[in-house]
């Protein structure tokens, strides 16, 4: 069954690749049904320089000949390159080392050795690559961006380099230099226009499915979403971030693993479910402040991002008091000075009103 599914998905991607679709849509299609990996460690090794050699001219009618050993080539460099494919790290999960090619030694007739081929490691846009030996950090923010992280070794000198008036037959040459090598850590931070945040089971995945063509898993239990889900919303990317809990900034629950994905979103949609009003001490405002507290503790500007508050799941309220509770909570949250909407996915009008405001907010931020 898995094999059939894989073959079918590959067939779809081959078919749509030749069609007139956006890069974002193709990248979202390619992400479906694959395990999401957002961290990776690997050892990188640049190529060794080629050795210089001792060679002599052996030509007819050139009786005295002379040194003719060529220099070794330059070892291959190691590069990282940004690509629009968030599943690239998944394909590397069993890879522990990336190595560039060693260079060839020099040759006779003063021939220079062939340089080693470079190694280009394709990583998703949004990746942060850290050299664990030096602490140097590289950020890949644009598709096609290419950065050299390791330099290949210089080639050695052939004996022709050592000839002089007092040393007409040098026997010395030098070996090629080793290439640089280091351990690296890759951390992917999704780049999205909107991030959906909130406590577990607040309705984030359902909202994403309603606004976009995403097929995020939904269920009536906490932590249904374990990996970020992405959707294409009129050319903008919406990211459904797995549910946060109190203490997430200290590593509890899914911890900081997904808080970092919010750091590169342009704005946040904070979902607060009416279920909290019925079953949670402190009610909806306490649930809202709990997540806001985690964003502030994590830092990196999360608490300063534009935020739309979305009061979700009105359908869980008893019919006889629904309107009164909704009106009360709207007044309470509007005191925060932020846009507030009430949505139930069973009411198309409320979803449409929120959708219109969301697109206006995204377009405003993009100007």
pLDDT at 237: 80
Query: What is the band of 186 on the pLDDT scale with cuts at 50, 70, 90?
Result: very high
User: Do both 216 and 161 map to the same domain?
Assistant: no
User: Do both 212 and 315 map to the same domain?
Assistant: yes
Mean pLDDT of the chain: 80
Please identify, among 171, 188, 205, the residue that sits at the C-terminal boundary of a domain: 188
In this prediction, what percent of the chain has a pLDDT beyond 70? 79
Can you give the residue range of the structural domain that contains 348?
194-366
Please identify, among 188, 221, 244, the residue that sits at the C-terminal boundary of a domain: 188
Given a contact cutoff of 8 angstroms between Cβ atoms, the answer to whether 132 and 181 are in contact is no
pLDDT at 365: 62
Q: By mean pLDDT, which of 37-51, 288-302, 303-317 is the weakest? A: 288-302
pLDDT at 121: 97
For the chain, how far is it from start to end, CA to CA, in angstroms? 47
User: Do both 86 and 52 map to the same domain?
Assistant: yes
Assigned token pair, 293: 């507290």
User: Do both 223 and 96 map to the same domain?
Assistant: no
Number of domains in the chain: 2
Does pLDDT of 300 surpass 70?
no
Alpha carbons 3 and 343: distance in angstroms, whole number: 40
Q: Pick the residue with more confidence: 276 or 36?
A: 276
Please identify, among 139, 156, 188, the residue that sits at the C-terminal boundary of a domain: 188
- The enclosing domain of 212 has a CATH number of 3.40.50.300
- Residue-wise pLDDT for 104-162, tens only, equals 999 999 999 999 999 999 998 889 999 999 999 999 988 899 999 999 999 999 999 99
Residue 358 maps to a domain: yes
- Residue-wise pLDDT for 252-282, tens only, equals 444 455 566 677 788 888 999 888 888 777 7
pLDDT at 39: 86
In this prediction, what percent of the chain has a pLDDT beyond 90? 37
User: Do both 165 and 233 map to the same domain?
Assistant: no
- Residue-wise pLDDT for 229-254, tens only, equals 777 777 778 888 775 544 444 444 44
pLDDT at 231: 78
Residue 4 maps to a domain: no
User: Do both 220 and 168 map to the same domain?
Assistant: no
């Amino acid at each position: 069954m898995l094999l059939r599914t894989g073959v079918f998905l590959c067939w779809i991607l081959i078919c749509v690749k030749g069609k007139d679709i956006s890069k974002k849509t193709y990248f979202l299609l390619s992400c479906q049904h694959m395990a999401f990996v957002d961290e990776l460690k690997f050892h990188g090794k640049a190529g060794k320089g080629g050795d210089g050699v001792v060679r002599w001219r052996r030509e007819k009618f050139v009786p005295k000949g002379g040194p003719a050993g060529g220099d070794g080539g330059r070892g291959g460099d190691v590069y990282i390159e940004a690509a629009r494919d968030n599943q690239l790290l998944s394909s590397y999960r069993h890879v522990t080392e990336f190595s560039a090619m060693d260079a060839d030694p020099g040759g006779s007739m003063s021939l220079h050795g062939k340089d080693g081929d470079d190694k280009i490691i394709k990583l998703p846009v949004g990746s942060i690559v850290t050299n664990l030996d030096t602490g140097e950090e590289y950020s890949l923010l644009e598709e096609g961006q290419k950065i050299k992280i390791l330099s290949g070794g210089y080639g050695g000198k052939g004996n022709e380099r050592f000839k002089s008036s007092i040393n007409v037959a040098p026997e010395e040459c030098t070996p090629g230099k080793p290439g640089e090598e280091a351990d690296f850590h890759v951390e992917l931070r999704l780049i999205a226009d909107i991030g959906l945040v909130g406590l577990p089971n607040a309705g984030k995945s359902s909202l994403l499915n309603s606004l976009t063509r995403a097929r995020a898993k939904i269920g009536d239990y906490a932590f249904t979403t374990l990996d970020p889900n992405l959707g294409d919303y009129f050319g903008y990317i919406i990211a459904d971030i797995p549910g946060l809990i109190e203490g997430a900034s200290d590593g509890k629950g899914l911890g900081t693993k997904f808080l970092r994905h919010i750091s590169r979103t342009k704005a946040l949609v904070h979902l607060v479910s009416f279920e909290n009003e019925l079953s949670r001490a402190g009610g909806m405002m306490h649930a809202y402040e709990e997540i806001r507290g985690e964003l502030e503790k994590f830092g990196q500007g999360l608490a300063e991002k534009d935020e739309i508050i979305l009061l979700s799941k009105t359908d869980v309220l008893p019919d006889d008091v629904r309107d009164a509770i909704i009106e009360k909570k709207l007044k309470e949250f509007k005191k925060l000075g932020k846009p507030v909407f009430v949505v139930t996915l069973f009411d198309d009008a409320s979803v449409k009103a929120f959708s219109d405001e969301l697109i206006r907010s995204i377009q405003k931020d993009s100007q």
